[in-house]
Amino acid sequence: MAAGLGILKLLRGVRQLELHRLILALMVFCLLSMAFLAYYVSNSPKIKDPPPLPFSDCGGGGGALLGVSTGADGGETGGQRSPLFLPVRQGQLQEVKTIDNSRTEPVVLVFVESIYSQLGQEIIAILESSRFHYRTEIAPAKGDMPTMTEHGRGRYALIIYENVLKYVNLDAWNRDLLDKYCAEYGVGVIGFFKATENSLHSAQLKGFPLFLHSHLGLRDYRLNPGAPLLYITKPNQVEQGLLPGDDWTVFLSNHSTYEPVLLATPKSSDPLAHFGAGPLQALYATVVQDLGLHDGIQRVLFGNNLNYWLHKLVFVDAIGYLTGNRLCLSLDRHILVDVDDIFVGKEGTRMKVSDVEALLNTQNKLRALVPNFTFNLGFSGKFYHTGTDEEDQGDDMLLQHRKDFWWFPHMWSHMQPHLFHNVSVLAEQMKLNRIFAQEHGIPTDMGYAVAPHHSGVYPVHTQLYEAWKSVWGIKVTSTEEYPHLRPARYRRGFIHNGIKVLPRQTCGLFTHTIFYNEYPGGSRELDKSIRGGELFLTVLLNPISIFMTHLSNYGNDRLGLYTFESLVKFVQCWTNLRLQTLPPVQLAEKYFQIFPEERNPHWQNPCHDKRHKDIWSKEKTCDRLPKFLIIGPQKTGTTALHSFLSLHPAITGSFPSATTFEEIQFFSGANYDNGIDWYMEFFPFPSNVTADFMFEKSANYFDSDVAPKRAAALLPRVRLLAVLINPSDRAYSWYQHQRAHQDPAALNNTFHAVVTAAPSAPRALLVLQKRCLYPGAYASHLERWLQYYQPSQLHVVDGALLRSNPVLVMEGIQRFLGVTPIFNYTQALMYDEGKGFWCQRVEGARSKCLGKSKGRKYPEMSSESRAFLTEYYRDHNMELVRLLNRLGQPLPSWLHQELRSSR
């Protein structure tokens, strides 16, 4: 019995063990099945929506259309835009007076509500993008208007009011002054009325035969083809659908001076039912053009802000029209579409045969709309045939059709050029790409290249420019980094080392944006950019646009093709712009014909922009840049100050130049073209970044027109030392300096003859006269520096006191600079009787003075010349008194003496 029970227990244990094993086996099978399924799903072809279709001509199209008409219940009602035909005016349209504001400067005066107001910033953004000069003022509720005229010319060609009510509600005195100015100088006014919760629903615009009706919801925006201001904007178009918001204002008037520009239909007829009859009168003007028939002043009034894209387009036309086309962009627009990273990219993001076929097909379609349109392909040969089999076939098809495209080189291995410190090694990498191009028949003579991630283009990496020229013969490149990535409207071109650098634009497509429905923020964001948004405005406001796209944007959903075909059709639907394409070298020539002032760059400090610092050589450091500058002027004692400062243990001057000695003369002349790498070579690596003070002295910076702006771009936090002596003495010293250097004009003419020479005198004499007299207008030159630097950054050194009591002056300079410790110059300097000024004290109580060219002995200035110059500089010296008083800086001793003698 006991044995039987034992066997039974054993059998039960075996069954339980087998059950556990069975459960464990089932669990393992389930896990393996799940892993296999996951692998299959992740690696099998994905079933996705087909690529979106580009917009059809003026209204149809694919994607999430923004202009689809909707009914009152929000349902879609259709599709194609229809042309607008306005009812004919009763009687003939009166002759509009041609605008002539040629007696004004081409500057826009913008009255804003505050420096932070959104509409004000949007107005300024369009002016800046168009490169129009402007000045902003806070719109005065009461008080004086800014000065409107100078020397018989108007200071402004156009006036813009962010809030038109500030214009119409000006006090009678200022309104009369402004209207008289506008009428006399042919100046127009643009005004905006944006309804607020406190705005009346209906009101008459004060002083005008014009009524406003606000707080409206509108739909179906239309352009009036009879509006005279339309130039870029193409009339006879309707933007169907609801307009955003219920805060629109419409204008109503029976006066013939008002011509509607943009019109819309109310969502509901009830709010405006009492204004009258007839189906054609269901259109109400939201933007009107005042033809000047009422009071002789032409205006354009907007019944909302610039948030809606059509308002921006009409605003650009209004600026051009009201300035007599003086502030007007031409209709020509050049676009170039770069496709970066050809052959580069991970599997699944590259182009296949069908994608290349689509690229060719779209290029052919675009050529019918944009003359000479050609995709510009940038390649890195190392990555050829590194995709899937289908993608490698796509690589081959690109090469089969290589003559159908333009080509430009990237780096062979797509490395960033700033990582190469040896120009020879960098050139070898480029040669590998060139060999690849030659082996595969890719053209190598386009003269254009783009660096990966814009590395080395800006901030400039000298080795890149040298290698580009030696290997590829590059003449043109482009970057989005000059002077900074954002805001995009500030991007500019420049020329360095013979290579033209053009601004490059983004278009919302990056390496990761490859699916329409996965576009960041939703596909509507991409469509919004195309249909009147950022991408559209880029074309509208830039005569030349080079767009950056990537290989991955032309595979998968082919967003590159969708974007540019849609953009071109939208631009041609709504504007009269003439789109065309040129090869990069010709495009660069065209760019600098339009913007010749951009040929010379303004070097920025790479350490003030993280993006710039990331693509700047790690072997370079901003610590080699100076902390203060001696800016001059010449012949005032700047060399002596330089030598005194160099005695301080914590202060280090720049290395001497082989041609300009202790001066670098970087910001004021041709040396600036050498770039900041060249400039930094004049400074050592500081041993203590915090405590070491490096400086340079270039006395011709003081009166240079370009030095202040250039210096502020690279050294915005630097401190400035200016040494001033009596300007009459400075002029005479310069004359004697030129005599010592055998200047014929100085040798053959007395000082009095030089300073009193008539405008008809020989050119060499006038050049010498200018160099004698011009730097002595101290106040005007200091004001130029103060446009870019804060008053706290400027210290005026009394040059006469520097000569008589340098110890006192040097103590004040040290405190201004904040240098520690304070150095005791009493033991470092001694007066040299032979030279007649203070020199460095060396061993044995001997002095070490400046060279023979300093402290020359020459005859006293004649009393006749002294009297002439005293009178010549009288007003300039009074301006200097006012400036120094405003800055809170003491008057130099010589200036006190001049004031006493003139009383």
Positions marked active-site: 635
Q: Distance between CA atoms of 797 and 818, rounded to whole angstroms? A: 16
Distance of CA 470 to the CA centre of its chain: 31
Residues 6 or more apart whose Cβ sits within 8 Å of residue 205: 164, 168, 211, 212
The type of residue at 657 is S
Residue 392's φ and ψ, nearest 5 degrees, are -65, -35
Q: Distance between CA atoms of 889 and 721, rounded to whole angstroms? A: 13
Q: Distance between CA atoms of 678 and 510, rounded to whole angstroms? A: 35
Strand partners, 289: 259, 300
Distance of CA 290 to the CA centre of its chain: 34
Distance of CA 61 to the CA centre of its chain: 34
Q: Distance between CA atoms of 751 and 747, rounded to whole angstroms? A: 10
Q: Which of 233, 236, 262 is nearest to 248 (CA)?
A: 262
DSSP code for 143? S
Tokens 């051009």, residue located: 320
Q: Distance between CA atoms of 409 and 381, rounded to whole angstroms? A: 9
Burial 95-107 (b: 16+ CB within 10 A, else e): ebeebebeebeeb
Q: Distance between CA atoms of 455 and 341, rounded to whole angstroms? A: 14
Tokens 């509507």, residue located: 524
In angstroms, what is the C-alpha Rg of the chain?
A: 36
Three-state SS at 719: strand
Strand partners, 265: 219
Three-state SS at 505: strand
SS3 content of the chain, % helix, strand, coil (to 5): 40, 20, 40
Q: Distance between CA atoms of 660 and 29, rounded to whole angstroms? A: 84
51 upstream amide cis, omega within 30 of 0: no
